[in-house]
Every structure is written in C-alpha cells, then in structure tokens.
Chain A
Amino acid sequence: MLKEIERLTKGGRITAFSNTELTPELSALLGGAMGTLLDPNAVVMIGRDYRRDTRMLKRSFSGGLLSAGIELIDLHGIPTSILQFAVRRYGADAGVMLTRSHNLAGMVSIKLFEATGIEFESSQVAKIVNIAKSGELRRVAAPDVGWISVADAMKVYDRALAGFFASSKESMKEANLRVVVDCACGPASRIMPDLLSEFGCQVITLNAHRPRNPLFLPNPSSLVRLREMVRAIGADLGIALDAEARHAIIIDSQGRIRTAEETASVNLHSRYDPRSNATVVIGSSVHPSVYHDLHKNIIFSGHGEPGGIGRAVLEHRAIYGFNDTGLFVLPVFSPGSDAIVASFTVLSQMAKSHLKSTDIYRNHQVFAQRTAEVTFPIEKMFEFFKSVLNEQPQDFRVIDTFIGIKLITNENEWIHLHLATEDNTLQIEVYDPKENLDRQTELIALARNLVDTFLQNRSSSLARWEN
C-alpha cells in the first residue's frame, strides 16, 4: 500500500482513482498523517460532495484524523467554497474536502485547507505524504481520540451572503429577475435556489438531484441545454455552477456563454473604484483586455500551486483575485473562490443598473487576437477536452476553463478551445503576447491539428469497433 502513496499527488493535491488507487485504508492513513502534522488540539472541518465514493473516503479519512486526537466538525455534503468560508470565519485549524474530478471518471481529490481557508501548498501536502510513508503517526490513547460534531454551515453561509448583498436586496426584488441555475448535482443545490428566491428571483433549477452515476457538469452539452433553457423562457441569466460551487459559467440573456474572464471583469469593475490604490491578483494567462484599464497594482499568479490565487490575495492584501479557470476570490467575504458570490454580484449589478446581462457583458467582452471555428459534434466535445487535459501535449500546460480548455506555453501564449455560440461548433481563440501574426497562425494550425487528430482517431476506432 505504501508504494501507492507517491502516485497519489498530482498537481500538488492528493488526487487518485477512488477505491483502486485511493482506497479507504490509504485514506485513513493519510488522515492519520494529516492529524500528526496538525497540533494535537486542532479542530478540523470536513466535508464532501454527493458522490458515494467521496462519502466512503471521507469516513476513513475522518477515522485517521480522530486517531491522532483531532476534533472534527462534520459539514457533510457541502460546496468547497462554503467549507473554505466556514474554516476561516469560525476559526477552525484546517479543513478537508473530498470531491470528484470535473472531468475524469472515478478520480477523487482530497483538498486540504489551512486555517486561513486557503488550500495547502504542494510542500505541505508532500509533508503529509511523507508522514504517511514513514508510518510515524501520532496515535493517541483511547480517551484522547477525537470527537465528531455535526454542524450546519449552509445556514450561516446563507445568512452571511444575505448580509453581504443586503444593499442590493430591494433592487433585486424589484427587478424580479428570471434565473436558470444548473447546480451540477452538487451540494450548492441545497442553498443556491433558495438564496435566489430570497432575493426575489424566479428560479428554475437544473441538476439538483443526486445521481447514482456521477455526471460531469458543467460540460458542453449541459451548457447548451442551459443556453436553450435561457432562450426558451426568456431568462435574464443562466448560471452553471460546478459541483464545488467554486466555478461559475454565466449565460447572458441572449444565450451567449460568457467566459470566466468576462464574469471576473464584471465582478471587478462593478465593485471597486478604479481610482483606488488597491491590489488585484490576476491569473497570468488572463487576456490583458480584462485588466488593461485598471490603474491598480496587479500581481500575476501562475497556474499550478493549489490555492495560488487565494494565497497571493492574502499575501498582497489584494481586494480581488481571479483567473481564467473561473476562480473568483473576494477576500472580504471568503478566502476561496466562490461562484455563488460571483453570480450574485452579476445579478446585483443587473438589478442596480436596470441593464440586461447582455448589455452588462458587452462592456466586458474579451476579444481574442485571432479566432477560428471548426465543426465539432457537441456530444464529443467533452471527451475531446478530457483527452487533451489527460494527454497534456508537449510544450503546453492545459487548464480546464469549464467551457473548454486552454493550452498555455511558457511564453504565455495560449490557445482557448471552447464551445462556440453555434451548436456543434468549436471555437479556437489564440493569443500571443508578442502579437506575432505568424505565431498566431501557427497556434491556430496547432489547434486544428489537435481537433483533426482527435476526430480521426475517433472515427478509426469507431470503424474498428464496427468491423
């Protein structure tokens, strides 16, 4: 079993296939290792999403923590964003969240959070893995074994959010906005529709159930369904949350799927006085048009380290942090990315300005240097994104933008492949900081090649199967 441990860390997190790589036994060992790293008097909040395997692994991880004398506050099924909020606001020493991967079947992450609510750095995760490997765990005597208490963090979050947006409540009630929200079968389904109703919205909720077989939401097909729903009922806004409620994809009143960068831009510009001397943390591959008009101190944060944006926000006392994967960190409210807050900011902006979401987003539209479109079957799109994410083509770092994938080079050039406005169409956007036209053409060709290779491989494997 110990041999397996090294393979569990990916991208600085404990991430593995559940019940094959990450077994309950290993999960308990890792829980014990985390408990050993923490102070014996530590109190830890723990939560999970709605999957069966995360429930199982959470129980064994909890057992490990308890064996090291750690007190646990079990938040049960809860969005990651709310766990992070609760850890910091109510003074827990650490947090643990067990969630499924957005795009790999059977893959589970154990996300660990500091008392600040910010995710452990990879070096801290490595310490835990090393303790687990060494087997030198702190096992306390029976009377000192930790205790599990159960608490309802959803209720306190609900109250905090209602207070945070109290000044917009009346205008939102008057606006009586029609909102379609896709909760991605995650725990946010317990809170998001009610919160929207409390603020006077007419709410249609999608994917609020707990499926036996996990769905990977949002995905291109689910976004198209959401878009169709928004158009069909004339909704003012569509919101697609991920299962952790850390990421949100917004669909405007005309059914345009807006990128995370555009939503971040709406959030940022609607909240803060551009003349102030505040600091903003921005993902290094965010399109410059999002921040070119900000006269702020801008700190760039690369992809890679878990909690990188949140940590940079904390270190630089920034007022806001975001990146192109759809992480929105508003430290006044919460230390981690909170898609519910980001969505409410858009809604409150609409209500206060009496503008349609399409009009609001018009001022925040991100235009790539070069674009191209290719026909692509919608039902294969998610599979394509997953395959590129898994393969990680040479010379590129690939990130999940929740409407597609972004391939980024060390020179900060990027290709964004995502669902286009037209159905069955894939949009290719490229950016080269040096604005070299030849390089842009090269990047477009590279993207086309990726698409063609995928489609050819698929058709040949399909032909083999049919033969």
Chain B
Amino acid sequence: MSEWSAIVLAGGIGSRLRPLTSNIPKPLVPVANKPMIDYNLELLRNAGITGKIAIITRYMREEIIQYFKDNDHFNDLDIVLPVFDPLDTADAVRKAANYIDTENFIVSMADIVTNIPLQDFMAFHVEKGGIASITLKDVAHPRAFGVIMLNQGSRILLFLEKPIPQELSLATLTFSKKETIRFQSNLVNTGIYAFKHDVLEILESLDDLMDFGKDVFPYLAREYGIYGYARRDYYWMDAGNPQTYLYTNWDVLRRWAFPYFPRATSEENNVWINHNHPSLPSGSIIDPPAAFGNDITIGNNTRIKSQTVIGDRVTIGDNCEIEASVIWDDVIIEDNVKIKNSVICNGVLITTGSQLNEGTVIGPNFTSSEALISEKNQTFVKN
C-alpha cells in the first residue's frame, strides 16, 4: 500500500471566471500557458504522491478526460478519472472513497496555483495525528473565504466559512480572552487538505455533510479535532475571477510560485519559450518577464511589455503595445493596437486601432468590425 494518495476536485463550473470558462472547464484554463490542473499535479508529483490520484470531474467532464488522453506528461502518476456526479466537494470525496487505499490522503482543488511545501504539510498532518489538517494562508479580506482560529498547538478552534458580520462578531467576542493565534491576521482555508482514511467512514455515515467548508470542517473541528498548517512563506492564489486570474499569471512570471513556471521548453532572462522563439522584426522589443507559446508572429515596432503571456498561433501586427496581459491561442491582433492588463481568450480578432484598457476581458471567438475602445474592467463576449 502506498503511503499517500490524492483526490483532485476538478468539477467546478468556474462561474466567477466567466467568460474565460465559457468554452473550457476551469481546471484547463491556462495560467502562463499551462492548465491550472497541471500546477496541481506537479505539486502532488513533487510531494512524492505515489498512490492513486483521482481527478473528480463534472462540468465539461469530456474535455478534461480528453486532455489527459492527449497529453502524456503525467504518465508517471497513477491518475484515475472516475465518472460520477458529486453533489458537492465532500460528496465527491465520499463517492471516490473506493480509490483511496492509503492511510492518509490529500484533497486539493484543481483551480489554485501554489507552491506550498506539500511534503512538509503531510509530515505536519502525521505529527499532529488529527483526522484532518488544512492548509491556511493570510489574506486581506477573509470574509470572502472563511475564518479560522487556531490555538498554540495549531488545533483549529473555530472554522467559519464565508462568515456574515454577526458571525465574526460572535466569534470575536467568544475568543476575546483565549490564547489564539492570528485570528486578526486573516487566516483562510486554501483548499488543500490532508485526511486520515477514517474520515471516509464519517462521510459515509453522515451524508448531510456535503461541503468541506460549510459542513465537514466545522463538524470535524467540534467533534474530532483538526489542525491548521499556518506557514506564511509560500505562494497561493485562487484564480477565481478575471482579476485574480491576471494576478496569478503575473505571479508565475515573477517566479513567485517557484518552482512552478510557465509551460516552456527553454527560458532565458525570464522569457519562457515553448519550442520556437518568435521572430522579432526590427524595432520590436520583448520586456521580461514574459511567456510565449508556439507559432507566434510579431509585427514591426511592436512592444511586448513585461508580465505578458502569449499563447499558441497568435499574430500581432505592427506598432502594437501589449502590457501585462494574457492572450490565449489563435488570436489575431491587427496593427496599432494597445492592450493593457487585459485577458483575451481563444479565437479573438482585435481590429486595427483598438485600445483595451485595464481589466478588459474578451471572451472566446469575439470579433469586432471596428476598433474597440474599452472602458476599465469591461467585458466583451460573442453574441
């Protein structure tokens, strides 16, 4: 029996990330030219997970299954793709119980990018001996996630999923005189968990427990004792909406997620290239860091400014300026176009003279017959 196995939850719809998830499931949304789920699987590989890795799919299941058929870069892992329809996160684990034959296992979300020292977390889980351990991170606005209070021994005293103000108020009052750590520093659950195999029996007998955040952890914290892994020194980002998606791309380019990098066959001076370097005609410049896919054509006097990601089969015209943006595959950008802090999905045509300002998101296959001048944070989708 292998020591650890894993369940990767990849069934989410990614509705907050729309229109990026209109045509592809969220786990396959590329971050720096690499699907998000790849970051997750690389994390598990680096942690030495040798048991089964069950990837639980639901929304656009066929696309994810096809992705693993078409790509062989995880052939060294024992990946299984069971087909069932989970009702929620904990229900997914309950239904995947047959794939877990190890004493401990990891559960992770397929839509986060992190370089958490997973082996260290696994050792923490074994040392504490609780039925579950949760990875935690500081964030600025905990109400958007969940709030956790720990004691000095890292035991979780309180677990609140997306609390309303009255809940925060009650929790603050009850813990006002307790020796807790870091409640004020906004610890949240980051979506990577370690469990003892025994938790599967609990999930089996209590089928009211559907969601980890809302049901399972509050219950386990009260009845069994669970632990929080609250190291500060790692990178974690939930690319849950277009803005944080953009940040995640920048962060990977800035090497904040080290040792997880953009998809590339080579890298030089923080420019990641996949197989063939784009030709740079006279007057064109690339400011690192940046990442490039295959078959990219760049016009004259075009500047690719730092923190830009460009996918496969992208054509960029003359006199363009692209700054801190993410451009997916099969995109045509005509001449004299300026793009700043924007996301452009597959199959888009940006006509001559367009100006895409900060926060612009162009959904898949969008085309316009005339120059597009966007307001800040404007979204365009194909009708």
Chain A positions within 8 Å of B, measured between CB atoms, are 41-43, 45, 71, 73, 86, 88-93, 116, 149, 151-153, 155-156, 159, 163-164, 167, 271-273, 276-278, 314, 317, 319, 330-333
Residues A91 and B207 in contact, CB atoms below 8 Å apart: no
A159 CB contacts on chain B under 8 angstroms: 164, 167
| Bound Cα distance A163, B210 (Å) | 11
Residues A332 and B214 in contact, CB atoms below 8 Å apart: no
Residues A156 and B177 in contact, CB atoms below 8 Å apart: no
Residues B170 and A277 in contact, CB atoms below 8 Å apart: no
Residues B174 and A73 in contact, CB atoms below 8 Å apart: yes
| Bound Cα distance A152, B167 (Å) | 9
Residues B170 and A41 in contact, CB atoms below 8 Å apart: no
Q: Verify if B158 is at the interface (C-beta below 8 Å from A).
A: yes
Q: Which of B164, B174, B223 contacts A90 (CB 8 A)?
A: B174
| Bound Cα distance A149, B164 (Å) | 18
Given A151-B170, A156-B167, check contact A43 B223 (CB 8 Å): no
Q: Which of B137-145, B198-206, B240-248 contacts A (4 or more CB under 8 A)?
A: B198-206
Given A156-B167, A163-B214, A331-B223, check contact A319 B174 (CB 8 Å): no
B218 CB contacts on chain A under 8 angstroms: 89
Q: How many B residues, CB 8 Å from partner? A: 30
Residues A314 and B223 in contact, CB atoms below 8 Å apart: yes
Residues A277 and B223 in contact, CB atoms below 8 Å apart: no
B265 CB contacts on chain A under 8 angstroms: none
Closest 9 pairs (CB-CB, A-B): A278-B205, A41-B177, A90-B170, A155-B166, A91-B174, A276-B205, A92-B174, A332-B208, A43-B174
| Bound Cα distance A149, B173 (Å) | 8
Interface centre among A91, A151, A331 (most CB of B within 10 A): A91
B164 CB contacts on chain A under 8 angstroms: 155-156, 159
- A146, closest chain B residue (CB): B177
Q: Verify if B295 is at the interface (C-beta below 8 Å from A).
A: no
> Interface on chain A toward B: helix, strand, loop, or mixed SS?
loop
Given A91-B149, A331-B223, check contact A73 B170 (CB 8 Å): yes
Chain B positions within 8 Å of A, measured between CB atoms, are 87, 149, 157-158, 164, 166-167, 169-171, 173-178, 201, 204-210, 214-215, 218-219, 222-223
Pull 27 A–B residue pairs with CB atoms less than 8 Å apart, ordered by A: A43-B175, A43-B177, A71-B176, A73-B170, A89-B222, A90-B158, A90-B170, A90-B174, A91-B149, A91-B174, A91-B178, A151-B170, A153-B170, A156-B167, A159-B164, A159-B167, A164-B215, A167-B87, A167-B210, A271-B208, A273-B207, A314-B223, A319-B205, A331-B223, A332-B206, A332-B208, A333-B208
Residues A90 and B149 in contact, CB atoms below 8 Å apart: no
Residues B206 and A278 in contact, CB atoms below 8 Å apart: yes
B208 CB contacts on chain A under 8 angstroms: 164, 271, 330, 332-333
Given A163-B214, A167-B87, check contact A332 B209 (CB 8 Å): yes
Shortest B12–chain A CB gap in Å is 17
Residues B176 and A43 in contact, CB atoms below 8 Å apart: yes
Shortest A17–chain B CB gap in Å is 33
| Bound Cα distance A271, B208 (Å) | 8
Residues A151 and B169 in contact, CB atoms below 8 Å apart: yes
Residues B174 and A88 in contact, CB atoms below 8 Å apart: no
- A296, closest chain B residue (CB): B205
Given A41-B178, A152-B166, check contact A73 B206 (CB 8 Å): no
B222 CB contacts on chain A under 8 angstroms: 88-89, 116
Shortest B198–chain A CB gap in Å is 11
* A-B contact sample (18 more), CB < 8 A, given A86-B170, A90-B171, A159-B167: A43-B177, A71-B173, A73-B170, A89-B218, A90-B174, A91-B158, A91-B175, A116-B222, A151-B169, A151-B170, A152-B169, A153-B170, A159-B164, A163-B214, A164-B215, A167-B210, A277-B205, A331-B223
B207 CB contacts on chain A under 8 angstroms: 271-273
